[in-house]
Structure 1
Amino acid sequence: MGSAGPDIADIDFDDLTSPKLTDVQRQVLEFTEANRVDLGIDAMLAEAIDQAGVGDDLNDTDGFGDRLTAHVAAIESDEGLRELTRSTLRQRIVRLLRNRLSLTELIKRYPEIESIPIEKPFIVVGMPRSGTTHLVNLIAADPRRRALPYWESQDPMPARGQGPDSFGVDPRYARAKAEHEGLMASAPLIAAMHDRFPEAIEEEVELLDLDLASYVLEWHARVPVWRDYYLGLDQRRHYAYLKKVLQALTFLRGPRTWILKSPQHCEQLGPLMATFPDATVAFTHRDPVAVIQSAITMMAYSDRLRRTSIDPAWLLDYWSDRVHRLLGACVRDRDLVPAERSIDISFHHLNGNEMPLLDELYQRGGVELMPKVRRCFQHYLDDNPRGKHGRIRYDLQRHFGISADELRGRFGFYFDRFDVSPE
């Protein structure tokens, strides 16, 4: 099946590496490729200051300006980006700067924010496509727990003078909804892979990137230079900044007991536990082949609009190495998380077995799982069966020139450490 429209039951990319663009996709590219996008830092900062309606204090006490320069330089180093992607990344930088400015101003006005406790969070740690999204959305159904919806992750701090409209709709939510509708029009199969609709629970690394200190840029562009830069940062400082953002969000809209999740935490367990020492952690585990094939298929599909060409060999090499690094760090550091406050969840045991796993997680977190919360969980499960948006038919050999067994052979260390079943 090509790009014209998804078959909800079974999605097969017959044009993954040689895309046949729809009329809508061609029109989008013709419009956006007409002009070169300027990533000048001074202009982006001026735009952010104007949007924030506050001063120009970026709170640059620990080299934020250097990270901003490195971030932009990494984007400029990727010569295969279309102007559509450069525009998206420029808007993202402006948005991050605007939110950082607004956060600095908010804390100046309400310094008590930094005294708000982030109490006993649940944190889901695992690779993309290993059940983390399912699990975090499920736990977020507990009304006692604060979560991070996608719309808020993209614009966590309200800009001065930009409150809800006459219907009570936050303009940040309205923007996220409009962007999601545009994505569904231009790349509809994204929903079957990772549907980031406005209410979906998102990763807090988006908040960490207000400090320009996460791995997120790697998902947007081919930036090994940024990977190396990010891996060299002292993440204890940046995770402390993440906590400050969570404190501000708690101040703006409670409660103060969070559910968090990100694959990045796999290689940052030391900083994670130093920042949230009373956290209870749920590790999800899945065959790395399933993780990698899902990730690189999603990237290749997105690249039909993001890049001037698709390079399946690069995607395979980079992301198999990246997953290897993440899982290697997880195996190395797993014992930094106390056994009495953590559980390991195998993907093949997750679907259909959620309630017993939640019982164990809540017990280890010292939190009562009341009947009304159980009903909330069951309602979520009933409304969100696996494959709700269709199932992808993956074909590593056809699209990426490697067999599942050959790829799986690189991860023996992970199968030795955790209960993981080949798929």
Structure 2
Amino acid sequence: MKPVETARYADFEEALHETARNSTGLSDFGGDDYRLGLRRLIEAYATDLPGDRATRAACFELTLPGLVGRLHSERGWKDHPECLDLPIERPLIITGIPRTGTTALHMLLAMDPEFQGLERWVIANPTVRPARALWDAHPSYRAAVREVARLAESRPRVMAVHGITADDVDECLALMMQSFVTNQIPSLLDLPTYDEWFLAQDEAASYHRLADNLRLIGCAEAEKTWLLKNPTHLLRMETLLTVFPDARIVHTHRDPVATLSSLCGMLAAFRGDPEPGSPEACAIGPRQLRVYKQATEHTMAVRQRHPNSFHDVHQETLLEDPMGVVGEIYEHFELELSSDSEARMRRWLADHPAPTRTGRRDRPEDFGLTEVEIRCGLAPYIERYGLSSGKEANR
């Protein structure tokens, strides 16, 4: 279904709703609480971005999935109201600044069949996840496979730096787009007007909706423990532990100079690879430093009040001894690692060796930062976790 053509950002709100309705055949978006965030986004598009057709189309494409997801979630809850009574007990949640090993650790732990996660294909159109044997025939799964293939062909750099397939577990971030209080879009577009509002929110409604979406998606496997991952949880740790009070949180770390340089390089790939040092590239770094300065300071404060809810993993240790890290996580949170799960994890490691870095390495200066700025901005975090330059890997 083609999007409704709009000549102005001011027309986006109705056009987005119309396109979402037309593309799904659904019409119930649920309560109106999401409209504030959506309107803040649209206002920022009009204030912070040019109004040419290509930019408008990119904004429309980035925004539409949140509304499509809402429609599917509302239908799912209506069809399966019993799922909303299901408890979510002691989820295992991975968080850390992006490029600290969160993705590799997430995929490794997902090899344990005692966990359930959020596969990429089910995030876009939430529904009760069917048995694996039925996925290939599911329209949402088939659409996700096509989208991954399209990305691999049209944007190979994106897949190279963050190649999540339709079957792979992915982060909560895209699912939480449904409330439009999101780090996803301002990471891909320069929206300082939206950021001023977004960074002051607590996302309580987003986290309650996340919990209900987990109940829907996991309805057929309610006995399984949720395994989740989202770096942006660092910004909202207080809210996360309010909604999931018994959550077990794995906090990953790496030298922030390498981390932020790598993160900016990844975001640059999503933005079309602007020339390093160009104004477009140099807009990326300061925003990421601001976000993760606030995020690390917030989470460190929350950790003082919830010390037993966290376990730390350093990326260098994860690369050197991944199964040792797994063992420490399981021991800390009193989980049982079966011989079958261990074998599955070892097979995954054998099939996914740490990539060998070749070519040009991302530098802070490529993205409007300096090493001094990063170390000063994140000094309390660096000191608290003993972070300094170490082995490098963009994994």
> TM-score, normalized by length of structure 1?
0.81
Choose the corresponding residue for 2:12, options 18, 37, 40. 40
Distance 2:229 2:374 in 1: 26
Choose the corresponding residue for 2:360, options 367, 390, 393. 393
Counterpart of 1:135 in structure 2 is 105
Distance 1:220 1:116 in 2: 35
Distance 1:113 1:42 in 2: 31
Distance 2:103 2:252 in 1: 10
Choose the corresponding residue for 2:294, options 320, 325, 343. 325
How many residues end up aligned between the 2 structures? 383
1:386–1:77 CA distance, 2 compared to 1 (3 A): farther
Q: Indicate the SS of the match to 1:369.
A: coil
The alpha carbon displacement at 1:148 in A equals 1.1
Counterpart of 2:388 in structure 1 is 421
Structure 1 alignment gaps of length 5 or more: 1-33, 159-163
Q: Deviations over 1:16-39 (max 9, x none)?
A: xxxxxxxxxxxxxxxxxx996866
Q: Indicate the SS of the match to 2:156.
A: coil
Distance 1:155 1:138 in 2: 25
Distance 1:343 1:238 in 2: 25
Counterpart of 1:64 in structure 2 is 34
Counterpart of 1:338 in structure 2 is 307
Choose the corresponding residue for 2:375, options 408, 412, 415. 408
The alpha carbon displacement at 1:310 in A equals 4.9
The alpha carbon displacement at 1:383 in A equals 0.9
Distance 1:330 1:143 in 2: 30
Aligned pairs for 1:14-413 (under 5 A) are: 40-54=12-26, 56-60=27-31, 63-80=33-50, 83-84=53-54, 86-157=56-127, 168-251=136-219, 256-304=224-272, 310-339=279-308, 341-387=309-355, 391=358, 393-396=360-363, 399-400=366-367, 403-405=370-372, 407-413=374-380
1:248–1:92 CA distance, 2 compared to 1 (3 A): farther
Task: Output the amino acid matched with 1:52.
Answer: T
Q: Deviations over 1:135-169 (max 9, x none)?
A: 111111111111112222233248xxxxx999943
Task: Output the amino acid matched with 2:126.
Answer: P
Distance 2:135 2:249 in 1: 39
1:214–1:406 CA distance, 2 compared to 1 (3 A): closer
User: Is the 1:82–1:305 contact (alpha carbons within 8 Å) kept by the matching residues of 2?
Assistant: no
User: Is the 2:69–2:124 contact (alpha carbons within 8 Å) kept by the matching residues of 1?
Assistant: no
Distance 1:166 1:377 in 2: 24
Q: Deviations over 1:373-415 (max 9, x none)?
A: 1111111111111117x54632426634655355334322112
Distance 2:101 2:315 in 1: 6
User: Is the 1:81–1:306 contact (alpha carbons within 8 Å) kept by the matching residues of 2?
Assistant: no
User: Is the 2:102–2:252 contact (alpha carbons within 8 Å) kept by the matching residues of 1?
Assistant: yes
Alpha-carbon RMSD across the aligned residues, in angstroms, is 3.2
User: Is the 1:150–1:200 contact (alpha carbons within 8 Å) kept by the matching residues of 2?
Assistant: yes
Distance 1:260 1:115 in 2: 20
User: Is the 2:121–2:144 contact (alpha carbons within 8 Å) kept by the matching residues of 1?
Assistant: yes
Task: Output the amino acid matched with 1:59.
Answer: G
Determine what percentage of the aligned residue pairs are the same residue.
Answer: 25
Task: Output the amino acid matched with 2:320.
Answer: G
Counterpart of 2:393 in structure 1 is none
Q: Indicate the SS of the match to 2:378.
A: helix
User: Is the 1:192–1:387 contact (alpha carbons within 8 Å) kept by the matching residues of 2?
Assistant: no
Q: Indicate the SS of the match to 2:201.
A: coil
Distance 1:357 1:81 in 2: 49
Distance 1:410 1:255 in 2: 43
1:360–1:244 CA distance, 2 compared to 1 (3 A): same
Q: Deviations over 1:45-84 (max 9, x none)?
A: 1222233333x332225x2222221122223333258755
User: Is the 2:297–2:381 contact (alpha carbons within 8 Å) kept by the matching residues of 1?
Assistant: yes
Distance 1:179 1:84 in 2: 20
User: Is the 1:147–1:201 contact (alpha carbons within 8 Å) kept by the matching residues of 2?
Assistant: yes
The alpha carbon displacement at 1:345 in A equals 0.9
Bigger Cα displacement from structure 2, 205-214 vs 115-124:
205-214
Distance 1:287 1:406 in 2: 14
User: Is the 2:48–2:193 contact (alpha carbons within 8 Å) kept by the matching residues of 1?
Assistant: no
Q: Deviations over 1:235-265 (max 9, x none)?
A: 2232111100100101256554111111111
User: Is the 2:6–2:12 contact (alpha carbons within 8 Å) kept by the matching residues of 1?
Assistant: no
Task: Output the amino acid matched with 1:40.
Answer: F
